[in-house]
Amino acid sequence: MSEQKDYLGHFEEIVLLGVLKLGSDAYGAKIRQLVSEATERDISIGAIYATLERLERKGYVGSWQGEATPERGGRAKRYFKVEGAGVLALSNTNAARSRLTAGLDLGFNLG
Amino acid sequence: MATKKRPGHRKNVTSKQEATSVAKRSKPKRRGKARNRGLVTRKNLEESTTLAIIPANRALLTFVSIFLRAPITSIYQLAQIMRDISKTQTDDASQSTLPNTAEYLLYLLLPRKDRESIIGDLYEEYPLVVKKFGVKKAKLWVYRQVLCSAWPLIQKATKWGLFAWIGEWIRRRI
């Protein structure tokens, strides 16, 4: 029997893609802004952190404390980066989507 | 028939002139009493506030009081309140710090691990929202963020908190 593959939820996938896109500058406020612009919804910072923590527990992202800056009231940033397992989960989810939509004429591109 | 005379009762008090003179005499006495009672007077207000330093201010406030038919003291008080409000608003805009209540709510609701980073993120974004929409709307935005942020984090915390509580209860029973 083949190994069970991991798939991502809709919001998890969006947040993970956001972290991937921001690269070394991926921290809470920046991820929130990027995801809000992409989804055209005002997403709360708490929702982003709750999702990131879930992803971290699954081993898809890693985090570390950054520097404290005066514009943040002397509070440190928490940076995130996508781990190998996260990239694999993204790839699995994308592959499953491609298999499901193969041969379907939706009239738009799923990406 | 003989009439009884009360002590201090005057015979001829019916003349109008005497009545008006009595009224005139009694007016300043009442004012004096009001002052003694420590009521707010224009002089006191002018001393306590800095509004009357500029003569133009004084003239404008007097004009407003005449126009609204309101006592000058209340106009001074109103002007002072408005001035204080505008001052706090400009202070907020220049400092661009989160509202104290919002920050305190975050401290109460967020787990220690996320507290610093989430508050820092809101600190960073707040001046941008103030610049874009103004202080009032920025404050609304912050409170919305606080409420929406707290919910998923509380859900997570209570889920794990409940498991921890059940585990502790079982451990004590065994």
Which tens digits make up the pLDDT trace of B139-170?
A: 899 998 888 887 766 666 666 666 666 776 77
Facing A73 at nearest CB: one of B123, B149, B155: B123
Q: How far is A45 from chain B (nearest CA, A)?
A: 6
Instruction: Reply yes or no on whether the pLDDT at B1 is more than 50.
Output: no
Q: Are A44 and B120 an interchain contact pair (Cβ–Cβ within 8 Å)?
A: no
- b/e B71-99 (16+ beta carbons within 10 angstroms → b): ebbebbeebeeeeeeeeeeeebeeebebb
Q: Among the listed ranges A31-45, A89-103, B92-106, which one has the minimum average pLDDT value?
A: B92-106
Residue pair A7/A92 in contact (Cβ under 8 Å)? The answer is yes
Instruction: Reply yes or no on whether the pLDDT at A68 is more than 70.
Output: yes
- Higher local confidence (pLDDT), B76 or A35: A35
Hey, what's the torsion of the CAs at B59, B60, B66, B68, to 10 degrees? -170
Instruction: State yes or no: ipTM above 0.90.
Output: no
DSSP A79: E
Instruction: Reply yes or no on whether the pLDDT at A108 is more than 80.
Output: no
A69: which strand partners? A75
- Percent share of chain A, pLDDT over 90: 59
Label residue A33 exposed, middle or buried (CB < 10 Å: 0-12, 13-18, 19+). Answer: middle
Coil, strand or helix: which one is A76?
strand
- Percent share of chain B, pLDDT over 90: 6
Q: Are A76 and B124 an interchain contact pair (Cβ–Cβ within 8 Å)?
A: no
Kindly indicate the confidence band of residue B34, based on its pLDDT and cuts at 50, 70 and 90: very low
pLDDT digits (tens, 9 = 90+) for B127-140: 989 988 888 889 89
Closest residue in chain A to residue B150, using alpha carbons only: A46
Q: Which residues of B touch A78 (CB under 8 A)?
A: 117
Residue pair A47/B149 in contact (Cβ under 8 Å)? The answer is yes
Facing B145 at nearest CB: one of A44, A72, A75: A44
Facing B120 at nearest CB: one of A33, A42, A72: A72
User: What pLDDT is attached to residue B104?
Assistant: 87
If residue B4 lies in a helix (H) or strand (E), which one and from where to where?
none
Q: Which residues of B touch A71 (CB under 8 A)?
A: 123-124, 127
Residue pair B68/B110 in contact (Cβ under 8 Å)? The answer is no
